[in-house]
Chains A and B, each alone.
Chain A
Amino acid sequence: MGREGEVVSELIPAFERQNPGIRVQVQQIPWSAAHEKLLTAYVGEATPDIAMLGNTWVPEFVALDALEPLDARVARSSDVVRSDYFPGIWSTNVVEGITYAVPWYVDTRVLFYRTDLLAKAGYDRMPSTWAEWRTAMVRLKSGMSARQYPLLIPITEWPPPVILGLQAGSTLLRDNGTYGAFSQPQFKKAFDFYIGLYRDGLAPALSGSEISNLYQEFERGNIAMYISGPWQIGEFTNRLPKSLQDKWMTAPLPGIDGPGVSLAGGASLSLFRRSTNKEQAWKLMEYLSRPEIQLQFYKLTGDLPARRSTWRDSSLAGNRHTRAFREQLDRVVPTPLVPEWEQIATKVFEHGEQAIRGRKSVEKALAALDSDVDGILKKRRWLMEKQKAGSR
């Protein structure tokens, strides 16, 4: 999928040389179309042997019963060593105790920031607690014009409010993922903090499509911090002018009283139940999971490897911008493993927007969010009741 689809074709010839008799056909699909394409492939009984899945899609395909359980294969394998993976990332592929996919590359969110602007505000490094983080933003803001902001969090992105919620100890959903838990005190605390950033002018209430050129804004000092993922390292390196290259850094996310958690995102490799070449397909998955291939893949794409041993290579360990990611990856947690998650996530920022624009109080927005989420999960509750009745 996407750039990864192009690059993986370069890794295949070596695999085919090592395994005469196996021919690999790679089909590239753009990310935006991938989800729909895989679903239609499932309906049309034309699923591939192996596919790369965004790890938030795993529960959905498990619900479709489309994926092959992998626990027995992983236990036997000398290439896929479970203990070498980041535990938070691995757990996104485990639904109700069964492993359905193997992490391929990882994605989490950290802070990108301007070191010079922070230094001017009196900080030589990024604070690690919410309170200090907020103080730093207030100080930054005092030296800025009305249209400059310490932090940019597009109001149409769900990860920031969700991450803050996870940091505050919220489970997001309750009762085995059948009801929303957004009105509970943990999430409310995070939501108050999040909404406060906009109400106090520390972050602009902009949607993703309104930001025309993030790098320009960053260069002009119109924003000083931005929460984003690993792909942004390459973009910042290429798009910011030379003069600014030693003035930006990454930092792990602050938490309530010390370094906080972030999202366990990324992509996984999965084996489809309908595949008729499972043994060969598994061989390819093992091959792509080897530390040295992971490293090669990182060098080709910039996607961060899922295996800890790969991170010891100097190209990663010595890179000052990936260091924050390495640290953050030890503190990642998955979002609830329910197929409805993506829809729930969009509801989080929609109700967040209501509160940011002052249309609703925080309490009302969260109550409305829970009621929407309970509606979305209605069918899931029915299915679980049915299962319970069936197993009785």
Chain B
Amino acid sequence: MATATAGRLRIPSEANTAAWFFLAPALALIGIFFFLPVAAAMLLSLTDFDLYGIANPGNTRFVGFENYSRLLRTPDFWLALRNTFYFAFVGGPLTIAVSLGAALLLSSKLVRFKGVFRTIYFTPFVTTLVAVAIVWRYLYHSRYGFFNYALSYFGVGPIDWLGDPHWAMPAIILMAVWKSFGYNMLIFIAGLQAIPEELYDAAAIDGASPFRRFWSITLPMLSPTLVFVTVITMIGYFQLFAEPYVMTQGGPLRSTTSVVLLMYEEGFRWWRMGYAAAIAFVLFIVILLATLVQFRLQKERA
């Protein structure tokens, strides 16, 4: 057996052609509807295309990286980035912790009516965000809202949830956690069910405490699920838009303006498409970096 490619699979060239043939439709679709627009947006971000440019293409200038350099010099952008990080790095872990907690409770043998609770916890996820946000706006009302009413029983003075620049983001995070933990919870439940019961039995015989069992069995066995949930949640949270759009319009004092909201305003309210495209690419890079860091951390732990 003197083949040079020992250990590597040799694919006959006809099969290769066939593979391309089968892949072609999907590749064409992705190319036309994904890579092409992305490339176009990339070009757009290097121009000052705006309302005047729509009127007359001659009013558009190629400006190189000026949009990017202006963006990096704009305090509003850094504030939006800070807000987005705040939301993702406080809201993200919180959502994961709450959903894991709920999943553990619902997987416990002591809990009855599991189906009912699962449905209840999952309901917020399938409701319309805009409608929910409007209801929450009432709950947060500083004078008539339920939260302040409940807090007043504990002697806590009224909090101006959506009107105080310090409280607005926590208020949005709280709502977002409530809204999205149900989905992660279901995935965690599925992950928990895949852990063989024998491991727990063996650990119990060895005298491991419940906490030890969670730390040494549940968490490691759940880690692929955890990676998936973390990455998906983070990517979703970096794209924060609808909650502040409906509840605060980015205020007060821009304390809830996220990068996507900023992009929406520049692009679709003021029609500065070139600038908005630059924001989109910066956000893309930020999300890409954050995801790579997460994969890296997970790999190191594994």
Contacts and interface: CB of A to CB of B under 8 A. Distances in A.
Interface of A: 36, 39, 42-43, 60, 63-66, 147, 156, 205-207, 209-210, 212, 339-340, 342-343, 350, 353-354, 357, 359, 379-380, 383
Contacts of B137: 209
Interface in B35-82: 48, 50-52, 54-56, 59
Contacts of B162: 207, 209-210
Contacts of B248: 207, 209
A156 B50 CA distance: 25
Nearest to B248: A209
A150 to B, nearest CB: 18
Interface string B265-286: 0001111000000000000000
A379 B249 contact: no
Contact of A65 (B55, B142, B144, B247): B55
Interface string B232-255: 000000000000000111011110
B251 A353 contact: yes
B55 A63 contact: yes
A389 to B, nearest CB: 13
**Interface secondary structure of B, over-half rule:** loop
Looking at B50, B59, B163, B269, the one whose CB has the most chain A CB atoms below 10 A away is: B163
B142 A210 contact: yes
A119 B267 CA distance: 49
B141 to A, nearest CB: 5
A210 B253 CA distance: 14
A354 B253 contact: yes
A75 B87 CA distance: 59
Contacts of B252: 207, 353, 357
B170 interface: no
B254 A212 contact: no
Looking at A36, A209, A343, A383, the one whose CB has the most chain B CB atoms below 10 A away is: A209
B214 interface: no
B114 interface: no
Given A36-B268, A65-B56, A212 B141 contact: yes
Contacts of B249: 156, 207, 209
A357 B271 contact: no
Contacts of A379: 48, 50, 52
B55 A64 contact: yes
A212 B50 contact: no
B51 A339 contact: yes
A342 B270 CA distance: 8
A42 B54 contact: yes
Contact of A212 (B59, B138, B247, B269): B138
Looking at A63, A354, A380, the one whose CB has the most chain B CB atoms below 10 A away is: A63
B165 interface: yes
Interface in B127-153: 137-138, 141-144
Nearest to A380: B52
13 contacts: A36-B268, A60-B51, A64-B54, A65-B55, A147-B143, A207-B163, A207-B248, A210-B163, A339-B52, A342-B270, A343-B269, A357-B252, A380-B52
A92 to B, nearest CB: 19
A89 to B, nearest CB: 25
Given A43-B54, A60-B51, A209-B247, 20 more contacts: A42-B54, A64-B51, A64-B54, A65-B55, A156-B249, A207-B163, A209-B137, A209-B248, A209-B249, A210-B142, A212-B143, A212-B144, A339-B51, A343-B270, A357-B165, A357-B253, A379-B50, A380-B52, A383-B52, A383-B59
Contacts of A64: 51, 54-55
A3 B162 CA distance: 31
A205 B138 CA distance: 18
A156 B256 CA distance: 14
A354 B76 CA distance: 13
A2 to B, nearest CB: 19
A369 B73 CA distance: 16
A378 to B, nearest CB: 9
Looking at B51, B141, B142, B247, the one whose CB has the most chain A CB atoms below 10 A away is: B51
Contacts of B59: 383
B138 A63 contact: no
B253 A359 contact: yes
Nearest to A382: B61
Contact of B51 (A63, A147, A207): A63
10 nearest A-B pairs in the assembled complex, by CB-CB distance: A64-B55, A343-B270, A210-B163, A212-B141, A207-B251, A65-B55, A63-B55, A43-B54, A353-B253, A339-B51
B54 A39 contact: yes
A378 B153 CA distance: 54
B163 A205 contact: yes
Contacts of B48: 379
